[in-house]
Amino acid sequence: MSPKPVGGPYITGTTILAGLMVAIMAMLVLIRFFFGLGTVTNLNDGYSWGLWLAYDVVAGTAIGCGGYAIALVVYVLNKGHYHPLVRPAILASMFGYAIGGTSVLIDISRWWNFWHILWPTYFNLNSVMIEVALCISIYTTVLMLEFAPVVVEKVVGWTRQRGGNLHALTTTVEKVLDKTIFVLIALGMTLPTMHQSSLGTMLIPFGYFINPLWQTPLLPALYLLTALSIGYAIVMFEATLVSDRFSRPSEARILGLLSRYMTAVVALFMVIRFGDIIYRGNLTYIFTSHGLSYAFLAENLLSIVGIILLLSERRRMAPRYQFISALCILSSCVLYRIDSYLVAYHRVGWHYFPSAPEILITFGMIAVEVLGYILIVRHFPVLHSAAPVNAQAPASE
Amino acid sequence: MSLTRRKFLRGTAVAGAACAVAGLAEAEERKEKTLPPKAVGLLFDSTLCVGCKACVSACREANNLHPEFNNGINLWDAPLDLSANSLTVIKAYSEGSAENKDQEQDGFAFVKKSCLHCVDPSCVSVCPVSAMTKDPVTGIVSYNPNNCIGCRYCVAACPFGVPRFEYNKTIARLRKCEMCKQRQAEGKIPACADVCPTGATLFGSERALRAEAERRHQLAVGERTFFPRKTVGSTDTYEKRAPRYDTQTYGLKEVGGTQVCYLAGVPFAKLGLPSLPEKSFVSTSEKIQHTLYKGMIAPALLFGSLLFAVRRNAKADEKEDE
């Protein structure tokens, strides 16, 4: 019933590969810090933001929205039976955001001034970025505190055998956390609502550099919806993958119920997006934007396939379809975010494609997440040992 | 109990969404920024420019920048574009046989690139740490490396592609034209205007410069008139026949106006000056932010109702557990 460490070996093919990728990344990052951005990246004055910003930060933090999306269902809509999904989602979110923050540190050229974004005398309150930067910094801390009970639980178990004052202290910490966690949970839903929408607003100053299929004053709303749909999709993707890879009981039933939120949010996103494109008279851009027309098509086809796959009740409850659908919607929304920041951003006379070291650093970041996730679920009580929903969840809501 | 909670939540959700939508709908309008009281600027008249690049050279001297060799022969300065090392460059337009100056067909024309010192600058609006500032009196847009975190948002957001970054340095910084504010502090005028032999680059109060641009538009083609050098209203003038100008002055309205304006004989788009809306892009983003975050009321409301919801639901869960 309750979450337990999965156990098992730490050294496997997957962890060795991930470790290697992290090592390569570490070397490249050192080169970047010693010799400047230009030695490692293809960034230039036309494309001063590249892969790291678009993928690691803008898409990466959305991939870290699993915790946010699940919390909304569990705590606002009061669907307690989704509870088994909360801990793994928060763990993945913590990694997503920590990686996003670290990527920003590597990306900004004058990193020794990084603390300026936390120091009020430097703030420019007209800047969308200050809101995003502050909010993400605070939220990363909140995620760590939200995950703290998992670590504390382990420590309490360890001190119990020793007894004495140490045990008294750890149990007090556990109690305090338990009593105050609702504040963290509420913060954990407020902050992503703020900065995930602002990530969209951040594109508005780019004006005509961004193709009209992506540039609109509704960007904050569209970005909030993609954060949610990516959040649900990543939880489904992860849960199906984990129950398969760690040979755990399937969570298909609970995921089938959850999938309806994912498809509903994506559908709403598409309605608003198309409505806006029609309202602004930009429909023709769908056919006349050359390569971008295909990018737009790919985004929408993936979403539509993701929705259609789960239309029937039978497929909605089947892990295979849940996995494929989640993957489609995840790709669609991640693509939307990368497209709007990078692909649909066009500067006459300039070119950008990420360099090999840039790509390797991004891969290294993903490897950190995978490695961290594996090690932590093996060691800490994150995953539920059995799928409790089969007994608890109502057949329909 | 659960019914009232649900109603409450639904109510706040609907109210919040309505606020957000209303905010976004309203977001298209924000009070336009206007020219600062003692705005200074430059007027570049492409028809007067002979492409001598004295301005490029003088800019290097005034701002401690080194020559750039791009032609394989390390003899003369040949910057290809603005860069962290070239704060102003002269570019040429040429078409067909390129025989006639300031003609679109079979002609050529010069344009000087540098910061336009926007009335509502994108770089100032987007900079999270106030490294980019616009002087409230003169309107000069400056960069303060001590504040800068190097995020390069300004580089990505400038509609004219002006700010340039040093990508190949460990201790990197941004560079852009600051209208020689260090020289202005000594009572001098910007180096580019100071050395321009034909008065193609003219320094002065922005209002006087705009009046001068208007005066030139009013001239009949071929009419004899006087053109000032260095500053508008200077006594250093020369007589010349008025050229044929494109109908507009570039910079009066583009993205809310700029303090560096352009006159030309060929369409501005040919000179790499993009056609832009009158409303600045950052006025929309700022309006959205200031509507959603006005007094932090909306985020506080959201946080408050979430706090309420979580507490209620957590208590309900506890009861179930018992």
3-state secondary structure B106-154: CEEEEEEECCCCECCCHHHHHCCCCCEEECCCCCCEEECCCCCCCCCHH
Does any domain span residue A377? yes
Q: Per the CB < 8 Å rule, is A204 touching B153?
A: no
Pair A186, A325: CB distance under 8 Å = no
The whole-number pLDDT of residue A397 equals 38
| Percent over 70 (pLDDT), chain B | 89
Which tokens in the block code for residue A127?
A: 């800047």
- By the 10 Å C-beta count (0-12 exposed, 13-18 middle, 19+ buried), A391 is classed as exposed
For B227, the 3-state DSSP assignment is strand
Cβ atoms of residues A197 and A218 within 8 Å: no
Q: What is the pLDDT of residues A79-126, one digit of tens each?
A: 878 888 888 899 989 999 999 999 999 999 999 999 999 999 999 999
**Residues B217/B252, Cβ–Cβ less than 8 Å:** no
Whole-angstrom distance between the N-terminal and C-terminal Cα of chain A? Answer: 23
Average pLDDT over every residue of B70-90: 89
B15-38: string of b/e by CB count within 10 Å (b at 16+)? ebeebbeebbeebeebeebebbee
| pLDDT at site A326 | 96
Which residue, among B102, B44, B97, has the nearest Cα to B270 in the 3D structure?
B102
Residue type, A81: H
Helices (H) and strands (E) in chain A, counts: 15, 2
- Residue A397 forms part of a structural domain: no
Q: Which of B142, B151, B308 is the mutation pick for testing A, counting most A CBs within 10 A?
A: B151
For residue B261, pLDDT over 70 is answered with yes
Res. A388: pLDDT tops 50: no
DSSP classification of residue A380? S
pLDDT above 90 coverage of chain A, percent = 69
Beta-strand runs (E) in A101-185: none
What is the C-alpha to C-alpha distance for residues A290 and A295, in angstroms, rounded to an integer? Answer: 9
Task: Check residue B192 and give its pLDDT.
Answer: 97
Kindly report the pTM of this predicted structure: 0.90
Tell me whether residues B149 and A111 touch, CB distance under 8 A. yes
Distance CA B11, CA A170 (A): 41
d(CA B199, nearest CA chain A) in Å? 30
Q: What DSSP character marks residue A3?
A: E
Domain for residue A310, yes or no? yes
d(CA B157, CA A128): 12
Contact status, residue A68 vs residue A234, Cβ threshold 8 Å: no
pLDDT: which is higher, A13 or A219:
A219
The residue of A45, A346, A352 whose CB has the most chain B CBs within 10 angstroms, and thus the best one to mutate to test that interface, is A45
Is A206 in contact with B145 (Cβ distance < 8 A)?
A: no
- Which pLDDT belongs to residue B27? 47
Contact A307, A266 (CB under 8 A): yes
CB atoms within 10 A of CB A154: 15
Distance from CA of B153 to the nearest CA of A (A): 8
From residue B180, alpha-carbon distances to B49, B104, B172, B177 in Å are 20, 33, 21, 7
* Exposure of A350 in the CB half-sphere (CA atoms within 13 A): 22
Q: Is residue B74 packed enough to be buried (19+ CB in 10 Å), middle (13-18) or exposed (0-12)?
A: exposed
Q: List CB contacts (< 8 A) between A185 and chain B.
A: 306, 310
Do B91 and B271 meet the contact criterion of CB atoms below 8 Å apart? yes
Q: Which residue out of A122, A178, A352 would a mutagenesis test of the B interface target, given it has the greatest number of B Cβ atoms within 10 Å?
A: A122
Q: What is the pLDDT of residues A230-261, one digit of tens each?
A: 999 999 998 898 887 777 777 888 899 999 99
| pLDDT(B1) > 80 | no
CB B295 within 8 A of CB B133: no
DSSP B287-319: HHHHHHTGGGHHHHHHHHHHHHHHHHHHHHHHH
Q: Which two tokens stand for residue A274?
A: 């198309």
pLDDT digits (tens, 9 = 90+) for B15-41: 556 555 555 545 445 678 899 999 999
Q: What is the pLDDT of residue B29?
A: 52
Residues in chain B closer than 8 A to A190 (CB atoms): 299, 302-303, 306
How far, rounded to the nearest angstrom, does the alpha carbon of residue B296 sit from its chain's CA centroid? 30
Average pLDDT over residues B162-170: 94
Take residue A162 and report the two structure tokens written for it: 């020793």
Q: What's the maximum distance between 2 C-alpha atoms anywhere in chain A? A: 73
Strand ranges (E), B120-265: 132-134, 141-143, 164-165, 174-175, 201-205, 224-228, 237-241, 260-263
Q: Give yes or no for A42 touching B (CB within 8 A).
A: no
Tokens coding B179: 């209208």
Q: B290: nearest CA in chain A?
A: A126
The predicted pLDDT at position A386 comes to 53
Q: Specify the range with the lowest mean pLDDT, choosing from A26-30, A173-177, B55-59, B277-281.
A: A173-177
Q: Enter the tokens of residue B65.
A: 């920048």
Between β-strands B174-175 and A383-384, what pairing exists: parallel, antiparallel or unpaired? unpaired
* pLDDT tens digits along B91-124: 999 999 999 999 999 999 999 999 999 999 999 9
Q: How many domains does chain A have?
A: 1
Q: How many residue contacts between A and B have a Cβ separation below 8 Å?
A: 194
Alpha-carbon span A60 to A136, nearest angstrom = 12
Asked whether the predicted pLDDT for residue B268 surpasses 60, the reply is yes
Distance set, CA B158 to CA B64, B116, B127, B292 (Å): 24, 10, 11, 24
CA distance B322 to B319: 5
For B82, nearest residue in chain A (alpha carbons) = A45
CA distances from A134 to A59, A390, B123, B177 (A): 18, 41, 19, 30
pLDDT at A6 exceeding the cut of 90? no
- The answer, yes or no, to whether residue B216 has pLDDT greater than 50, is yes
Instruction: Please give the backbone phi and psi of residue A375, each rounded to the nearest 5 degrees, phi first.
Output: -60, -40
Res B109: pLDDT: 96
Of A164-168, A286-290, B61-65, B187-191, the range with the lowest mean pLDDT is A164-168
Quote the CA–CA distance of A305 and A223 in Å, as a whole number. 21
Chain centroid to CA A360: how far? 20
b/e A71-95 (16+ beta carbons within 10 angstroms → b): bbbbbbebbbbbbbbbbbbbbbbbb
Put simply, whether A183 touches B (Cβ < 8 Å) is: yes
Chain A residues touching residue B170 (CB < 8 angstroms): 33-36
Q: A159-168 contacts: CB < 8 A, separation 24 or more?
A: none
**3-state percent breakdown (helix, strand, coil) of chain B, nearest 5:** 35, 15, 45
Residues in chain B: 322
Quick one: pLDDT band at residue A392, thresholds 50, 70, 90?
Answer: very low
CA B11 to CA B165: how far, in whole Å? 49
Nearest Cα of chain B lies from the Cα of A13 at a distance, in angstroms, of 37
Do A131 and A137 meet the contact criterion of CB atoms below 8 Å apart? no
Q: Is residue B226 classed as helix, strand or coil in its secondary structure?
A: strand
C-alpha R_g of chain B: 26
Residue A395 has pLDDT above 50, yes or no: no
* Dist CA B162 CA A364 (whole Å): 34
Classify B240 in phi/psi space as left (phi over 0), alpha (psi -120 to 50) or beta: beta
Interface test with A, best of B28, B82, B153, B293 (most A CBs within 10 A): B153
Closest CA of chain B from A175, distance in Å: 14
Q: Chain A window 297-336: which residues touch B at a Cβ cutoff of 8 Å?
A: none
How far is residue A367's CA from residue A373's CA, in Å, rounded to a whole number?
Answer: 10
CA distance A43 to A305: 35
Q: What's the pLDDT band for A177 if we cut at 50, 70, 90?
A: confident
What ipTM was assigned to the predicted interfaces of this complex? 0.90
CATH of the domain spanning B40-278, picked from 3.40.50.720, 3.10.20.600, 3.30.70.20, 3.40.630.30: 3.30.70.20
